[in-house]
Amino acid sequence: MPEYVIDLSTVNSWQDFVNAFNRDFIFPMGNAQWNGNLDAFNDFLWWPDEHPYRITLRGWSACYAAVNQYRAADGRAILEVICMIFDDNPQVVVVRE
């Protein structure tokens, strides 16, 4: 199973989170940039050619408190929405470290 490791160990803001996903997943996979739009994030999760695949979120616990203070457009905590998006995508196995 292919694996993508997202290094979140120095993430302290939503923009840091977006930058980490761009650096470790989105840009290497398709030479693209994600702007933080949650609908687009869902779409990017379908980009890898081989399904299923694994995303390992290294440093998840360290960034969670800092980043989850940001809110999605509907007022929900942003990383809770990200987790729901992961849950809705059976092609990706998410490991939180």
30-85 per-position pLDDT tens digit: 889 999 999 999 999 999 989 999 999 999 998 998 999 999 999 999 999 999 99
Handedness of CA 61, 63, 65, 67 (dihedral sign): negative
* Predicted TM-score (pTM) of this structure: 0.93
In this structure, are residues 79 and 64 in contact, taking their beta carbons and an 8 Å threshold? yes
Number of domains the chain is built from: 1
pLDDT (tens digit, 9 = 90+) per residue, 5-23? 999 999 999 999 999 999 9
CATH number for position 80: 3.30.370.10
Cis peptide preceding 48, ω within 30 of 0: no
| Sequence-distant (≥ 6) Cβ neighbours of residue 39 within 8 angstroms | none
Q: Which domain holds residue 60?
A: 3-96
Q: Tell me, what's the pLDDT at 31? A: 87
